[in-house]
Chain A
Amino acid sequence: MQIANLLIEPTVETLYMVFTATIFATVFGIPLGILLMVTDKGQILQNLPINRIFGTIVNVLRSIPFIILLFLLIPFTRLLVGKAIGTTASIVPLSIAAVPFMARLTETALREVDKGIIEAAQSMGASPIQIIKKVLIPESLPSIVSGITITIINLVGYSAMAGAMGGGGLGDLAVRYGYQRFKLDIMLYTVIVLVVIVQLIQAVGDFIVKQISKNR
């Protein structure tokens, strides 16, 4: 019971960090992914300079290890939320790491849409915006939802790292009790809670994908 009490608050903190960061990742990452896809060579809004600029930003952000990104972003986080430590402050680096990740997953999902279908829409006089809204997104929706699921699960892992750096949550708990006070049972329970969270997210994600692609 005592252990359960100990686990509740960090679990809520972790979920808060993960889901807030997911919202940012989705809101910014999906449009960025669409931009990367449609501006590429031979695509409906080909614009190579824009494609190169955003492609490079995404690559740079994705190549920085998360633990280093945490440090690098301290000044920026302080500017944004007024402090660099704490659960809310952790959302900033988590979101910034997840946006480019989500963008690449979205881009890949959109590329899977058959070129013939895009061509068919063009032959009917569809504008690029209509093609994005009525063809690209609906056709790749199952892959996009899978991408969101993967992003959330990645964020659970990252949030433990951010937590260990003072951000609270389950990672924080595991480090303080499990590592510093050598309470292995608490570390074990933390891991179990994390496994359950990941399993649940994966199951929900799979269920939604299945529902969307029921008729396809």
Chain B
Amino acid sequence: MIYIEELTKIYPSKYGDVKALDGINIHVKKNDIFGVIGLSGAGKSTLLKCINMLETPTSGSITIDGIEMTTLTPGELKETRKKIGMIFQHFNLLSSRSVRGNIAFPLEIDGVDKKRIDKRVDELLSLVGLTDKAQSFPSQLSGGQKQRVGIARALANNPKVLLCDEATSALDPQTTLSILDLLRDINKKLGITIVLITHDMNVIKQICQNVAVIDNSKVVEQGSILEIFSNPKTKTARDFIKSVSFSEIPDELQKKIDKLELDSSEGIVIKIGFVGKITAKPIISTLVKKFDVDANILYGNIDYIQDTPFGTLIIELKGNNGRTGKALEYLEELGVSVDVIRGSEHMEHH
């Protein structure tokens, strides 16, 4: 659906060039809800604006549904943009127009006749649940309502793609959830591919299927949300996950584990991460019974990412004569991810 290849954006300045984006490669599948997360200044907003050419890339290519965006003429670009909706952090509604007028705006731009505009606006108002606010003006609406108008406006021309620029960052947590629900509905009902950028990992956790982590103008990690949550490879990703989930070891606990006196040469501390159905299995009691090891649970957590359970356990295993080693092998056979955090020299994985 959307292919971004080797995208680079350089802002020239008196004090030397500033690289806002550096060789970005991203592939967004059709019907996906794709999240880009990064701290402010990481380049994610520039990235999003390059997708509909509000920012002109310095080099690289962007194709949407087979259309190469970077080589379009201004006229072609205008037509292509009509099929790419966009919503904004600060909503960007026209204060001079009512809710109805704001939603009608893109249709007027497209030269749709008045009767069809009215009909389409009615549909959109009911889609976003604002039928009773049609005559209100933006200044009379709450933040959540404003964003609903923004969404209705973005959907007016039946776009194939919806770009969300920090769409929930100006909203309170509860309103954020209701807007995210609406976006998920739109994605399912209308089959619109959504690309959103955010600095809030909770947004990613709530609705995204795939995610790219962007740091210092580069994509440092990319994959399905479960992959990223269960096996983050970079510190940036781990820090984001820590902000919304307890699947990463809290710093206090890490200190305790480092100081822990292991009782025998084969005592180990492991971190187990498991995803999906396996969370329902009695892994620990099986370990204890089958391998005659002692298991001391130091930390445990089960979280949900959308509908998938996703758990983390940190346990200290005690045993000798190779029993802890066998227990480890068994865990790996089960297909859970196992990390040895502390252990005797010869067993340590890292």
| B109 and A125 within 8 A (CB) | yes
Residues 86-125 of B, flagged 1 when their CB comes within 8 A of A and 0 if not, give 1010101111111000000110111000000000000000
Stretch in A34-42, A135-143, A159-167, A182-190 touching the partner = A135-143
Separation of A99 and B93 alpha carbons in the complex (Å) = 32
Please give, as numbers and ranges, the residues of chain B lying within 8 Å of A126 by CB-CB distance: 78, 109
> Given the interface contacts A122-B54, A139-B95, does A216 sit within 8 Å of B137 by beta carbon?
yes
A6 to chain B, nearest CB (A): 46
| A123 and B140 within 8 A (CB) | no
Q: Which residue of B lies closest to A124 (CB)?
A: B106
Residues of A that sit less than 8 Å from B by CB: 114, 116-117, 119-127, 130, 134-135, 138-139, 141, 215-216
The residue among A124, A138, A141 with the most chain B CB atoms within 10 A of its own CB is A124
Separation of A122 and B108 alpha carbons in the complex (Å) = 13
Q: Which residue of B lies closest to A126 (CB)?
A: B109
B84 within 8 A of partner (CB): yes
| A124 and B82 within 8 A (CB) | yes
| A120 and B109 within 8 A (CB) | no
Please give, as numbers and ranges, the residues of chain B lying within 8 Å of A130 by CB-CB distance: 109
> Given the interface contacts A125-B109, A215-B137, A216-B137, does A116 sit within 8 Å of B157 by beta carbon?
no
| B78 and A120 within 8 A (CB) | no
B316 to chain A, nearest CB (A): 54
| A124 and B81 within 8 A (CB) | yes
B139 within 8 A of partner (CB): yes
A141 to chain B, nearest CB (A): 7
Q: List 13 A-B contacts (CB under 8 A).
A: A116-B88, A116-B90, A119-B92, A123-B52, A123-B54, A123-B86, A123-B163, A124-B82, A124-B157, A125-B78, A126-B109, A130-B109, A138-B96
| A216 and B139 within 8 A (CB) | yes
Please give, as numbers and ranges, the residues of chain A lying within 8 Å of B96 by CB-CB distance: 138-139, 141, 216
Separation of A170 and B313 alpha carbons in the complex (Å) = 91
| B82 and A125 within 8 A (CB) | yes
Please give, as numbers and ranges, the residues of chain A lying within 8 Å of B93 by CB-CB distance: 117
| A120 and B88 within 8 A (CB) | yes
| B94 and A138 within 8 A (CB) | yes
Please give, as numbers and ranges, the residues of chain A lying within 8 Å of B108 by CB-CB distance: 134
Q: Which residue of A lies closest to B110 (CB)?
A: A125
Please give, as numbers and ranges, the residues of chain A lying within 8 Å of B88 by CB-CB distance: 116, 119-120
Please give, as numbers and ranges, the residues of chain B lying within 8 Å of A127 by CB-CB distance: 78
B251 within 8 A of partner (CB): no
Separation of A216 and B140 alpha carbons in the complex (Å) = 8
Residues 192-215 of B, flagged 1 when their CB comes within 8 A of A and 0 if not, give 000000000000000000000000
A209 to chain B, nearest CB (A): 13
- From A135, A141, A215, contact of B139 by CB (8 A): A215
> Given the interface contacts A138-B96, A141-B96, does A124 sit within 8 Å of B137 by beta carbon?
no
Please give, as numbers and ranges, the residues of chain B lying within 8 Å of A134 by CB-CB distance: 105, 108-109
Q: Which residue of A lies closest to B136 (CB)?
A: A215
Separation of A118 and B139 alpha carbons in the complex (Å) = 18
Please give, as numbers and ranges, the residues of chain A lying within 8 Å of B77 by CB-CB distance: 125
B206 to chain A, nearest CB (A): 24
B272 to chain A, nearest CB (A): 46
Separation of A125 and B153 alpha carbons in the complex (Å) = 13
- From B52, B54, B97, B137, contact of A138 by CB (8 A): B97
B17 within 8 A of partner (CB): no
Separation of A139 and B139 alpha carbons in the complex (Å) = 13
Separation of A216 and B138 alpha carbons in the complex (Å) = 7
Separation of A130 and B93 alpha carbons in the complex (Å) = 16
- From A119, A123, A125, A135, contact of B94 by CB (8 A): A135
B79 within 8 A of partner (CB): yes
Please give, as numbers and ranges, the residues of chain A lying within 8 Å of B80 by CB-CB distance: 125
Please give, as numbers and ranges, the residues of chain A lying within 8 Å of B106 by CB-CB distance: 124-125
| A215 and B110 within 8 A (CB) | no
Please give, as numbers and ranges, the residues of chain A lying within 8 Å of B139 by CB-CB distance: 215-216
Separation of A138 and B96 alpha carbons in the complex (Å) = 6
| A119 and B54 within 8 A (CB) | yes
Within 8 A of A (CB), among B55-88: 77-82, 84, 86, 88
B116 to chain A, nearest CB (A): 17
Separation of A216 and B82 alpha carbons in the complex (Å) = 27
Separation of A114 and B90 alpha carbons in the complex (Å) = 10
A23 to chain B, nearest CB (A): 24
Q: Which residue of B lies closest to A131 (CB)?
A: B109
Separation of A114 and B95 alpha carbons in the complex (Å) = 10
Separation of A119 and B86 alpha carbons in the complex (Å) = 10
Please list the 9 inter-chain residue pairs (A to B) with the smallest Cβ-Cβ separation, ordered nearest first. A120-B92, A215-B137, A125-B81, A138-B96, A123-B86, A124-B106, A116-B92, A125-B82, A125-B78
B252 to chain A, nearest CB (A): 42
Please give, as numbers and ranges, the residues of chain A lying within 8 Å of B54 by CB-CB distance: 119, 122-123
